[in-house]
Amino acid sequence: MKNTVLVYEINAFSNQPNQGSPTGVVLIADDLTADDMQQLARKVPYSHTAFLTEAPQTDLYDVKIRFFTARGELRNCGHATIAAHWLRAHQQAINQKTVVLQETLSGIQSIEIHADDNGLSVHFEQNAIVITPLPNYAKLALLDCLHITDEELHPSYPPVLASPGTSRFLVGVKSKAILNRIKPNFPRLKALCEEIHCLGCFMYAIEETTPVRAIGRMFAPTIGVNEDIINGNSSGCLAAFLLHHQTTMKHIKLEVQQGHLFNRAGMVLVSAHRDNASIQTTVGGAGFLVGHQTVPL
């Protein structure tokens, strides 16, 4: 076991300092146990920390990655995936399109590294998104937790559950002004999420632009993060949900802006396409290396 661990800070979904989602990344986690990882995740000042282990060449994947918050381990994490693979590509000086297979608790995912004049970006395929309507009692309880009325909801997109492996509520409202003023009752939202077996609630407002742009906020009290600065997986779920409603369309591109209320604006780039009965999504974004620290175990 190591006595100290080098932890990098990466701004996920931004290529600027002081923007995006600050995320911890440990590039060499081979000697760390799950208890070590959990201890480190509690010590560092990041909502999420990713731990990478390079796989032997004989394995079916290139890198194993685990994700922790201060409260526990996650099956997957969008912004930590972006942060970890952006840093890995940066350290390896990757300068061309590269595909990396990562193993997570959700299974094996394909990660694409893009390198162009704008720098490095990372894109990952989500598992097929499952959309589930909300029973009326859950919708009423959710609105009560969020302190909003039925009249403030987006008229075309009802609240649903969406899952690429782990469920979350998707709740659309009519305007950015409504979205910005939301102050959930977090204990009640946490209890409802636990009852429904979902990790949190992603709220959004749609702006009619080309490509389509949305403003988003993610509340995830069940994993110990009352409000996540930027949530990539939920952005992918939103793109799948919008395409799910556009039955004549086969493809949609979506830009999801988040982090603005933290003064840490970032952008999640999502594409979704219909593949027979399922909808497949790809989530992408940039990264920025802030620095690193040595953390004792």
Collect all residues with Cβ–Cβ distance below 8 Å to 163 and sequence separation of at least 6: 129, 130, 132, 198, 237
113-134 pLDDT per residue, tens: 999 888 999 999 998 899 999 9
Compute the distance between CA of residue 5 and CA of residue 23 in angstroms, rounded to an integer.
Answer: 15
Same domain, 153 and 226: yes
Six-digit token string for 43: 């010590």
Same domain, 104 and 176: no
190-241 pLDDT per residue, tens: 999 999 999 999 999 998 777 789 999 999 999 999 999 999 999 999 999 9
Same domain, 272 and 292: no
Domain residues for the domain of 213 are: 130-284
Structural domain total, the chain: 2
Dihedral of the alpha carbons of 157, 162, 168, 174, in degrees to the nearest 10: -10
Q: What is the DSSP letter of 151?
A: G
Same domain, 117 and 155: no
Bridge partners (DSSP) listed for residue 130? 163
Place 1 in a pLDDT band, splitting at 50, 70 and 90.
low
CATH number of domain containing 193: 3.10.310.10
Same domain, 226 and 119: no
Same domain, 81 and 23: yes
